[in-house]
Structure 1
Amino acid sequence: MHTVWKGAISFGLVHVPVKMYTATEDKDIHFRSLHKDCGMPISSVKTCRHCDKEIGADEIMKGYEYEKDKFVISKEEDLESIRAEAEKTIKILDFVDLNDIDPLYFQKAYYLSPDLAGAGAYNLLLEAIKQTGKIGIAKISIRSKSSLAAIRVVDNCICMETMYYPDEIRSLSQVPNLPKQTVVNERELGMAMTLVEQLSEKFEPRKYTDDYRTALLELIEQKIAGESVDVVFAPTAEGRSNVIDLMAALQASLDVTKPLPESSPPKSKRKNAAKSKDNVS
C-alpha cells in the first residue's frame, strides 16, 4: 500500500506515530476521451480566455471569487502562514458512541499503522478503544483541507474515517416534497414490517457485487478478443408482477419471500408421504 500521510494521533498527552493508507479503492471503469478521427487520447489544456493562450503551471495562482469576476489572491506563503502543526497530528477531541454518529457524516476510510517505535502507544490506543467500545472524534488536515474524523478499530487495526463538518451537511428543509407527517394504513404498515423482517439478514459484504462493472469488463474483454457483441437486456426478476395496488404489491412481495414453516416438510416429502399412505391403505 502507498503511504498517503505520516504523522501522529494525539489523545491527552499521548502521541501515537502512525502512517496512513487509503482503505478503499476506486474500481469504476474509466474511459478516456479520444479523437474520433485518429483515436489519439485528448489532453486537457489550461488556457486563458483573455490572453487566448495555453498557461503553464508556473503561471497559475490561486484566487477566491468573492463577487462575480472579483478575486482575492492567495499566495503560497499566505496559505503556509495559517497551516498549523495540526497538519501532522490527528488530534482526538472526544470519545463518543458509534451509534451517536449519523452515517451521513462519513466521507472516506483510511487504515493507520504504527510508525517506527510507536508500536507500544499504538497497541495501547487500539486496546483502549476496543475495550471501551468508544469512537474517537478528531481533527486532521489532509492536502490543505481540514476535516473531522472518527477513530475506531477494525479487527487489529486503527481505522480513521474523515467526516463532514455540521455546516457541510445540507438542511433537510432544502429537500422538496417531504411529508410534514407520515400517515399510513395500519394493515399496510404491518405487512411492510413483516416484509422487512423476512428480508432481514446478517450483513455479509461479500454477497454484494457490482454487476454492472462485471458486465462492462466482460464486454470490454469480448471487444479486445474481436468478438461481435450485441447488447441484451436481462430478464425480469422471478416472481415480479405488474402490481399497481399497494396492498397487492405487499402481499405479492410477502408471497415471494415467505419462508416455509419449520414444522412443515418440503412439498416433495409431503407428496411421497401421501403416496405411501395410499399404498398402505
Structure 2
Amino acid sequence: MPRPIWSGSLNFGLVNVPVRLLSATRDLDLHFRQLHAKDDTPVETRRMCSEEDVEVAYEDIGNEYDGVILTDAELSAADPKKTKTIEIEAFVKLEEIDPIYFDHPYFLVPAGETDGTVRAYRLLAEVMGRTDRVALGRFVLRTKEYLVAIRAREQALTLSTMRFHDEVRPTDGIPGAGGRTKKAEVERALKMIDAMTVEWDPAGYEDEYRKRLQAIVRKKRKGGEITAPKEDTQAAAPVPDLMAALEETLDRLQKGEPVLNG
C-alpha cells in the first residue's frame, strides 16, 4: 500500500468523510543514472550563473517571469488558502467529461476504521456507483489548488486532478478537422470499427518498450552484445484509393486475417 500524500475530509453536503489520498498508479519505468562515459563516474547537476560561471546556492536563486523578478515571499502571496477539505460542488455525468481533461489519478480511502467513517465512505461510494455520476470539487495539494473529479471504481472512490478549460487547446485550426466526407466511405469505416470492436481488457496491453529494455539489461549483464535494429525511415505512402483500402480491410477482418502492420 503506497504512503498517503494528503489527509483531510471529503464533504458531501453535511456529510463529512475523513479520507486519505494515495496515488493510484505506479512508476514502472527503468530509471538510469547518468555517468561520465570516460570513467563511469556519476554526473552531477548544478545550477550555474551564466554570467559569472559559478555555482548558485538554492537560496540565492530568484524568479523571473515576463521581465518581472519576484522573491519566494512575493510568490507565496498567490498561494491558495490551505484547507483540509475537499468540497463537493456539483455532480455531472461521466460521459459528459472529455477524457482530455483528466490528469493524474488517485485513490481516496477512509482515514480510520471507525464505524461512522467507514459507513459514510461506503454510502458515498455506493450511491455514486449506482448513479454513474462524477463529483466535482476543489482541494489544495502542497501549494496548488486543483479542480478534481471523484467517482466510484469497483466500490472504491477515486480522485483525478483535472485540467482547467483554458489549459486544453481548442480544435479550431487543426489541419484536417471538419470538412466533408463521402457517405459510402463512412459506412465502410463504421462497419470496420464494428468488426474491430472488443471488450476492454487492460491486461491485454503491455508496455512493450519496457519489456525490450529489460531484456537488453539482462543480456548486457550476461555479457551479451547489444545491436540496435535498423531504423525504418520510409514514411507510409498515402492511400491511393481510400474506398479500396476500406473494402480490403473489411475483407481481411471477415476472413480473420491480420490488418495491422508489424
Q: Per the shorter chain, which TM-score range?
A: 0.7 to 0.9
Q: Report the residue type matching 2:250 in the other structure.
A: L
Tell me by how many angstroms 1:11 deviates. Answer: 1.8
Partner of 1:169: 168
- Tell me which residue corresponds to 1:66: 66
Q: What SS does structure 1 have at the residue aligned with 2:91?
A: strand
In the alignment, does 2:132 pair up with 1:137? no
| Long gaps (5+) in structure 1 | 235-240, 261-281
Deviation at residue 201 of structure 1 after TM alignment: 0.7
Report whether the alignment pairs 1:75 with 2:73: yes
Structure 2 CA distance for partners of 1:200 and 1:81, relative to 1, 3 Å: closer
The answer for the alignment partner of 2:252 in structure 1 is 256
Superposition pairs for residues 1-281 of structure 1, below 5 Å?
1-61=2-62, 63-67=63-67, 70-75=68-73, 79=76, 82-86=79-83, 88-116=84-112, 117=114, 118-173=117-172, 175-179=173-177, 181-232=178-229, 244-258=240-254
Measured in 1, the distance between the counterparts of 2:120 and 2:5 equals 21
Evaluate the alpha carbon distance shift between residue 74 and residue 243 of structure 1 in structure 2; reply closer, same or farther with a 3 A threshold: closer
Rate the CA distance shift 1:81–1:13 in 2: closer, same or farther, 3 A.
farther
Partners of 2:168 and 2:78 lie apart in 1 by: 28
Amino acid at match of 1:113: V
* Counterpart residue number, 1:276: none
TM-score by length of 2: 0.85
Please give the alpha-carbon distance, in whole angstroms, between the structure 1 residues aligned to 2:110 and 2:77. Answer: 28
The count of corresponding residues between Structure 1 and Structure 2 is 248
Aligned identity (percent) is 30
Give 1:242 shift: 9.9
Contact 2:90 2:137 in 1 (8 A): yes
Q: Look up the match of 2:234.
A: none
- Separation in 2 of the partners of 1:194 and 1:31? 46
Task: State the shift of 1:223 in Å.
Answer: 0.7
Q: Distance in 2 between matches of 1:249 and 1:135?
A: 41
For residues 18-72 of structure 1, give each alpha carbon's deviation from its aligned partner in whole angstroms, at most 9, with x where no partner exists: 11111012223333322121111211111223443222333345x34132xx313
Contact 2:91 2:134 in 1 (8 A): yes
Tell me the distance in 1 between the aligned counterparts of 2:56 and 2:32.
26
What whole-Å deviation, never above 9, does each CA across 1:148-168 have from its counterpart, x for those lacking one? 111001112110011011121
Query: Does the CA-based 8 Å contact 2:80-2:145 persist in structure 1?
Result: no
CA contact under 8 A between 1:66 and 1:72: conserved in structure 2?
Answer: no
Contact 2:82 2:140 survives alignment (8 Å)? no
**Which digits, 9 at most, give the CA deviation of each residue in 1:164-205, with x for residues without a partner?**
1112112222x44244x4322222221111110100011111
1:238 alignment partner in structure 2: none
* SS class of match (2:5): strand
